[in-house]
């Protein structure tokens, strides 16, 4: 019996950011399929203002030394247990996608591109959730580190907008309380 897909509404309401992955790798082909579908996000002028650096499956192991080098600058001085503890938020992830956007000098286009890439990221998270794959949109400070950018091949005029982590999980996070909807809406008079 095949799994039935979630409705769009159910996917939006049920999706959660996963922060405790179980270490099982996400196949690179699954990440690529998710991204291919996610690129149907609306984007002004069909500029497709994104590119991706993907590390899934066993290839994810190749990105860990780069993350360790820039995320934990003093890693060489740490004992193995402390280093392992600090790296745990990366080592249990099953795959990662770095979303790269152009930094257009025109403010309007830059905002449109950022909005489009945000929609793409939400699409990817919803598509992954529908397949039982968790995700978390991360923006750690090391994304702007010149060494990290260079190691990933990020060019001048580009920005790493997201380190989108994917993986499998054993425990679904609880729903956090949200602001009541009626506090968010003002009806135009």
Annotated binding-site residues for FMN read: 15-17, 44, 137-139
**Shortest CA distance to 134 belongs to which of 9, 30, 7, 1?**
30
What is the token pair recorded at 158? 């580009």
**What SS3 class is residue 106?**
coil
Return d(Cα 128, Cα 84) in angstroms, integer.
27
Residues 71/17/117/186 CA torsion (nearest 10 deg):
-130
> Which residues are CB-contacts of 69 (< 8 A; sequence separation ≥ 6)?
75, 147
DSSP string across 6-73: PPHHHHHHH--B-----SPPPPHHHHHHHHHHHTTS--GGG----EEEEEEGGGHHHHHHHHHHHHST
Instruction: Please report, in range form, the residues annotated as the binding site.
Output: 15-17, 44, 137-139
């Amino acid at each position: 019996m095949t799994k039935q897909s979630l409705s769009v509404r159910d996917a939006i309401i049920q999706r959660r950011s996963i922060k405790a992955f179980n270490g099982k790798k996400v196949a690179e082909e699954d990440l690529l399929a998710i991204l291919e579908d996610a690129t149907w996000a609306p984007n002004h002028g069909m500029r497709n203002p994104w590119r991706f650096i993907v590390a899934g499956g066993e290839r994810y192991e190749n990105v860990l030394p780069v993350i360790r080098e820039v995320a934990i600058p003093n890693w060489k001085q740490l004992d193995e247990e402390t280093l392992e503890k600090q790296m745990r938020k990366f080592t249990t992830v099953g795959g990662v996608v770095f979303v790269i956007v152009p930094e257009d000098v025109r403010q309007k286009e830059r905002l449109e591109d950022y909005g489009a890439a945000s929609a793409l990221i939400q699409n990817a998270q919803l598509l992954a959730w529908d397949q039982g794959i968790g995700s978390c949109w991360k923006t750690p400070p090391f994304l702007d580190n010149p060494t990290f950018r260079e190691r990933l091949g990020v060019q001048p005029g580009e920005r790493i907008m997201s380190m989108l982590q994917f993986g499998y999980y054993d425990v679904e996070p609880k729903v956090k309380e949200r602001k009541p909807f009626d506090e968010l809406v003002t009806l135009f008079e």
